[in-house]
Amino acid sequence: MARFFIAPPLPEAEITLTGENARHARVLRLKPGEEIIVCDGQGSECRCADATRVGEQAVQLAVLARQASAAESAVRVSVYIAFPKADKLEHIIQKATELGAYEIVTFPSARCIARPEEKTLAKKLERWQKIAASAAEQSGRGRIPRVRVLRSYPEAVREAAGAELGLLFYERELSHTLRAALDERPYRSVSLLTGPEGGLEEAGVALAREAGMQICTLGRRILRCETAPLCALSAVLFHAGEF
């Protein structure tokens, strides 16, 4: 079923799609009575039908039922990734959204090859948020993960440590497994922090440990900076009973 995202709150009885959404609805050539889903991007959605064309610019829909999105995980997984090269970041945003991340947060760190530029940041954030929206739509999610940029590694650690389970993945940690961390106690919010192309520095890892994060291994194979967060995210959602 086609999915459309509109800004919250969702109206009670009638929804009017405009702009990009209206164009998309026209491209789909919705049949009379055909049902679609309209989401607020925050986990609530409506089944709608009876698209009536209002001029060229808008499509009007009757709300049939309102529901919580069935495709959202009960566990909130925040993905914290050290700023990678642009194409890798876009890849991670798309895939983490499909897989079910709650939010995607990037930050500069000691060995980052690339850095977010202040000047172009607003424009880039807009682009990244669009990638997340498009992946959310395509994968049938009811929530568009927020993409955020933090100013520093310590800020990322402080935030990530605030989750019920704050986990940092480090290639030199060989024994403490993700499994051991997840099995310890039930969790509803998890943050997963992974390093840049050049790896995290020992001092940075120590900082995270002091902040209360657990330092974990993702196994004996060295994963690229764009592979590690998606591997960890898949495993956490699997462990949480999503599939």
Binding interface with a second copy (CB under 8 A): 70-71, 95, 98-100, 138-141, 177-179, 216-224, 227, 230-231, 234-235, 237-239, 241-243
> Minimum distance between the CB of residue 91 and a second copy, rounded to whole angstroms?
9
Distance CA 62, CA 75 (A): 32
SS3 119: coil
Closer to a second copy by CB, 7 or 175: give it: 175
d(CA 31, CA 42): 27
Q: Torsion-angle region of residue 207: left (phi > 0), alpha (psi -120 to 50) or beta?
A: alpha
C-beta of 70: minimal distance to a second copy in Å?
6
Helix (H, G, I), strand (E, B) or coil at 2: coil
How many angstroms separate the Cα of 193 from the Cα of each of 5, 130, 164, 220, 230? 29, 23, 14, 18, 11
Beta carbon nearer to a second copy, 146 or 239: 239
Smallest gap, in angstroms, from Cβ of residue 199 to a second copy? 13
Cβ proximity to a second copy: between 204 and 229 the closer is: 229
Our CB check for a second copy shows the closer of 118 and 183 to be 183
What's the min distance (Å) between Cβ of 219 and a second copy? 4
- Between 36 and 230, whose beta carbon lies closer to a second copy? 230
For β-strands 58-68 and 44-54, DSSP reports them as antiparallel
Least distance in angstroms from the C-beta of 232 to a second copy:
8
